[in-house]
Chain A
Amino acid sequence: MIDYLLSGLGAAFSLAVFPVLIFGVLGGIILGALPGLTATMGVAILLPFTFGMEATAAMVMLIGVYIGGIYGGSISAILLKTPGTPASAATVLDGYSLTQQGQAARALSISAVASFIGGLVSTIILIAIAPTLAKFALRFNAPEYFALALFGLTIIASISSRNILKGLLAGTIGLLISTVGLDPISSVPRFTFGVMDLYSGINVIPVLIGLFAISEALNQLEKLGVKAQIAEKFSNKLMSLKDLKSILPTSIKSALLGTSIGAVPGAGADISAFVCYNEAKRVSKQPEEFGNGSIKGLAAAESGNNGVTGGSLVPLLTLGVPGDAVAAVLLGALIIQGLTPGPLLFSQNPEIVYGIFSSMLVANIAMLVIGLLGIRFFCQISKVPKLLMIPIIIFLSIVGAYAINNSMFDVGIAIVFGILGFVLGKLEIPSSPILLAIILGPMAETNLRKSLLMFDGSWAFLYERPIALAFIMLAVFSVWSTIRRNKKTT
């Protein structure tokens, strides 16, 4: 194995592969930073460019885009309160608060380092225990997925810091929105009112753009005087050694959690970021700092979402089962190269598999270097006067919402949710639970109903399946600890 890894590292630094890797990571960061353009979209866009490439170089470039794209989403989340990708929605909670406090450079450096830790730990685990993790993930069936979604939904209580009831209300609004479209089991149209665009449900990305980007633009506009305002001063100081010591345990824990979540097919970086954020807040001695510029919160979200990058490749490479949308595109890329993902790939094409592993290590290092070197450049965004920044956010939001499906309907959705997010903000109702519920709602409903079908209408799956039971107990514990913590602080 070591021999293959070393030869893979040699290949990663070769003239044929290294420039492609850097191009992939840089392209991924730029794409990820643009609202509406996800890592999945980036990988899909660059897929046709790999047709004429050699297999290792092709996979390296796409994985570079994937890793860069997940990190890139945090840049706009931190600087503009506009998550570039759904995976960075949890990053907004503390990242933007730090920018408001004039610590954008510190937040960006923490994000880059935490993302690096997440990606690195995830890759090491991928190399070390990929087959074992894959076997564990294979034991997941509908009851386990339902329990995982339920556990994810309990995070709503944690991110509704001021008033749990208002957070729960936002969560139910999100869950209700997630029921729009064809019912996942019997394909009955629900709340579609004959509108064809609603049959496939409401896409999460325009919702994300509306709730975070457009509503923020409206908020900023309100604060704007008629005359142009000078951008707030901020420090160019990066994270300190003390910061690194402070975030290291949280980042490693989140990386491990993110890798496990990534290894479960269907659970992506967005869910992972929220789960890791919640876990960091739950164990924190200063939970009140979360949402107000906590560096641990920022590190947990970033390490958690990048932790998924290695995890999602576990079922893909070992079993040929894509863990998420990006892995599905990567599966297509492997097939185009004439390779069949699965156990045989390890024995028949070890140079490709270990080439991918080695390149992931190098891609994470490249992401860290580009991320840190780019901070001064990224911070220039904070210097752009708000007067100019507002239409920029609006234009990027509208274009991003359109680009998902080339649909003006999605633009309409983004605007509606922008207004909703703005109004809810005035009513002190948090927007994050809506997004979380829209992501997890379909997973919860589909798997609950599948479970009931599997168990002939009995709810016994809730306690008869050990993994499902463990998640349910975790969910109960999560809510209980949040309520207890809230009582202590009030």
Chain B
Amino acid sequence: MFNRDIVFPVLIIIFSATVLALIPQFSIPSYGQQDASVGAKFFPTVLAILQIIICIALLAQRKIKQLKTTASASIFSKMSLFGLGFLIAYAVLISFLGYLIASLIMFTLYLIFLKTKKASYYLFAYFFVVVIYYLFSQVFLISLPEGIL
């Protein structure tokens, strides 16, 4: 059975081990290191080892306290997966179509997906998108994604 309290520390241990394996690949400056005692590898090495120790302690803590394995729901529910998809789709669309068009399309699709029938919600959504566009691009003169199309 999937147990978060075991799987996550184990994953972090694997991640830390990977980090430790990557650290020796850091290039050494051609001019030689002045601070030979503590170089570029020191901090990441200490941190990766610390992470492993903390994860082992977390596993031990679980064992000592004999925490019961409770049936837990999966991390990503249907709605959170929809949120993830929405996020990624928006980021992709904004890079192609720019802020204004991408936001109008995505807000509409979002409301349609959630079966919203209130016209006021759609009006509010478009109003918000246009106000932010005006505020950023005309008042604060901050560039918004313009897209490549």
A179 an interface residue at 8 Å Cβ cutoff?
A: yes
B 10-56 contacts with A by CB, 8 A: 12, 19, 22, 26-29, 33-40, 42-44, 47-48, 50-51, 54-55
Q: Is B69 an interface residue (CB 8 A)?
A: no
Classify the interface of chain A: helix, strand, loop or mixed: helix
Inter-chain contact B144/A165, CB cutoff 8 Å: no
A172 and B54 form a contact (CB under 8 A): yes
**Smallest beta-carbon distance B135→chain A, Å:** 8
Of B8, B27, B90, B125, which contacts A427 at CB under 8 A?
B8
User: Interface residue tally of chain A, by bracket?
Assistant: 35 or more
In the complex, how many angstroms separate the beta carbon of A214 from the nearest chain B beta carbon? 7
B132 close to chain A: CB less than 8 A: yes
Closest residue of B by beta carbon distance from A446: B43
Q: Which residues of A contact B142 (CB under 8 A)?
A: 37, 45, 403
For residue B149, CB closer than 8 A to chain A, the reply is no
Contact, CB under 8 Å: B83 / A221? yes
The answer on a CB contact under 8 Å between A457 and B36 is: yes
A222 to B86, CA, bound (A): 13
Within 8 A of B (CB), among A369-393: 385, 387-388, 390-392
> Taking each of B118, B121, B145, which has the highest tally of chain A beta carbons within 10 Å of its own beta carbon?
B145
**Residues of chain B contacted by A357 (CB below 8 angstroms):** none
Q: Which of A2-10, A237-245, A408-416 contacts B (4 or more CB under 8 A)?
A: A408-416
Give the chain B neighbours of A387 by CB distance below 8 A: 111, 114, 116, 121
Interface-lining segment among A100-108, A307-315, A418-426 = A418-426
| Interchain CB contact under 8 A, B34 and A399 | no
Report yes or no: B116 in contact with A165, Cβ–Cβ below 8 A.
no
A186 interface contact, C-beta 8 A? yes
* B80 adjacent to chain A (CB < 8 Å): yes
* Complex Cα spacing A451 to B4, Å: 41
B95-109 CB mask vs A (1 if < 8 Å, else 0) is 100010001001100
User: Which residues of chain A in 405-447 are interfacial with respect to chain B, using CB atoms and an 8 Å cutoff?
Assistant: 406, 408, 411-412, 415, 418-419, 422-423, 426-427, 445
Known: A176-B19, A218-B80, A418-B87. A226 touches B114 (CB 8 A): yes
Task: Tell me if A276 is interfacial: C-beta within 8 Å of chain B.
Answer: no
Nearest-CB residue, chain A, relative to B12: A169
CB-based contact A403/B143 at 8 Å = yes
Give the chain A neighbours of B37 by CB distance below 8 A: 452, 457
Give Cα A419–Cα B85 distance, bound, in whole angstroms: 11
Interface contact A394-B87, CB-CB below 8 Å: yes
CA distance A457 to B34 in the complex (A): 10
Check B136 for interface membership: any CB of A closer than 8 A. Answer: yes
Nearest chain A residue, comparing its CB with the CB of B86: A394
What are the residues of chain B within 8 A of A188 when measuring CB–CB?
26-29, 39-40
Chain B residues numbered 131-145 whose CB sits less than 8 Å from any CB in chain A: 132, 136, 140-145
What are 20 A-B contacts with C-beta separation under 8 Å? A172-B51, A175-B47, A176-B51, A179-B44, A186-B34, A214-B87, A218-B83, A218-B84, A222-B77, A226-B114, A228-B116, A402-B94, A403-B136, A411-B95, A415-B88, A427-B75, A449-B42, A452-B37, A452-B38, A457-B38
14 further A-B pairs in the complex, CB-CB below 8 A; given A222-B77, A403-B136: A169-B55, A176-B44, A186-B40, A188-B39, A217-B83, A221-B79, A222-B79, A228-B121, A388-B128, A391-B107, A394-B90, A403-B142, A412-B91, A427-B4
- Which 6 A-B residue pairs are closest in the complex by CB-CB distance? A183-B40, A457-B37, A188-B40, A221-B83, A218-B83, A426-B75
Which residues of A come within 8 Å of B, CB atoms?
31, 37, 45, 165-166, 168-169, 172-173, 175-176, 179, 183, 185-191, 214, 217-219, 221-222, 224, 226-228, 385, 387-388, 390-392, 394-396, 398-399, 402-403, 406, 408, 411-412, 415, 418-419, 422-423, 426-427, 445, 448-449, 452-453, 457
